[in-house]
């Protein structure tokens, strides 16, 4: 939808009861205000919630791996996480300008972060097992992020399945070829 501001989201939800319903809001009630969304965003970014979500994701990934097994091949790729395009001068979020992940020969700048994801290949497709978020100007082959991500992925794989990983593949896009 290309909504870049909370105000735009509230406006769209107010004018489209069907969209509000699809997003889980009751049509019989008013759409939450912009300040309600802001308070929700603050709660969602709290460290305590992030740790709880991380724990849930680890448990789900471990259960999935024990049920499906793995080829032992670790796939590493990144994707863009855009942030507000007009950052405040006092911003301490760590967001920065970087190049968009090229999927079709694109060469476009964006402001935000990059999600670096490690997944293990299974018979049912890739299963995410480790992730790192970095400023957008952090290279996809960063000599600090990728080794840590790979170690975390291999440690998780060994803890869950009792065996080490194999050499990482270039990207998740290669997973379908295996």
The domain locations on the chain are 9-38, 47-85+92-177
Render the burial of 114-125: b for 16+ CB within 10 Å, e for the rest: bebbbbbbbeee
pTM exceeds 0.75, yes or no: no
Please choose, from the candidates 151, 172, 157, 149, the residue with its C-alpha nearest in 3D space to the C-alpha of residue 66: 157
User: What is the pLDDT at residue 172?
Assistant: 47
What pLDDT is attached to residue 98?
82
Q: What is the 3-state secondary structure (H, E, C) of the chain?
A: CCCCCHHHHHHHHHHCHHHHHHCCCCCCCCCCCHHHHHHHHHHHCCHHHHHHHHHHHHHHHHHHHHHHCCCCCEEEEEEEEECCCCCCCCCCCCCEEEECCCCCCCCCEEEEEEEEEEEEEECCEEEEEEEEEEECCCCCCCCCHHHHHHHHHHHHHHHHHCCCCCCCECCHHHHHHC
Mean pLDDT within 82-104: 67
Pull the structure tokens for residue 148. 């840590």
Q: Name the range with the highest mean pLDDT among 44-58, 120-134, 164-178.
A: 120-134
Of the two residues 150 and 170, the one the predictor is more confident about is 150
pLDDT band for 102, please (50, 70, 90 cuts): low
Indicate if the pLDDT at residue 117 is higher than 60: yes
First to last CA, the chain: 34
Q: Residue 110: what pLDDT?
A: 80
pLDDT for residue 177: 44
The confidence score (pLDDT) of residue 178 equals 40
pLDDT value at position 135? 84
Q: Choose between 41 and 45: higher pLDDT.
A: 41
Q: What percent of the chain has pLDDT over 70?
A: 80
Selected residue with higher pLDDT from 11 and 89: 11
Sign of CA dihedral 92, 97, 98, 99: positive
């Amino acid at each position: 939808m290309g909504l870049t501001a909370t105000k735009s989201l509230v406006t769209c939800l107010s004018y489209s009861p069907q969209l509000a319903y699809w997003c889980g809001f009751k049509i019989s009630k008013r759409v939450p205000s912009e300040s309600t969304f802001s308070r929700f965003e603050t709660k969602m970014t709290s460290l305590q919630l992030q740790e709880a979500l991380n724990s849930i994701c680890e448990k789900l990934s471990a259960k999935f791996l024990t049920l499906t097994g793995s080829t032992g091949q670790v796939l590493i790729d990144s994707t863009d996480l855009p942030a507000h395009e007009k950052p405040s001068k006092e911003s301490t979020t760590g967001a920065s300008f970087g190049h968009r992940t090229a999927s079709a020969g694109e060469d476009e700048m964006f402001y935000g972060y990059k999600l670096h994801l490690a997944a293990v290949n299974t018979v049912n497709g890739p299963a995410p097992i480790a992730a790192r978020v970095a400023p957008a100007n952090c290279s996809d082959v960063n000599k600090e992020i990728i080794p840590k991500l790979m170690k975390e992925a291999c440690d998780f794989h060994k803890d869950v399945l009792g065996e080490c990983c194999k050499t990482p593949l270039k990207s998740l896009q290669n997973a379908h070829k295996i």
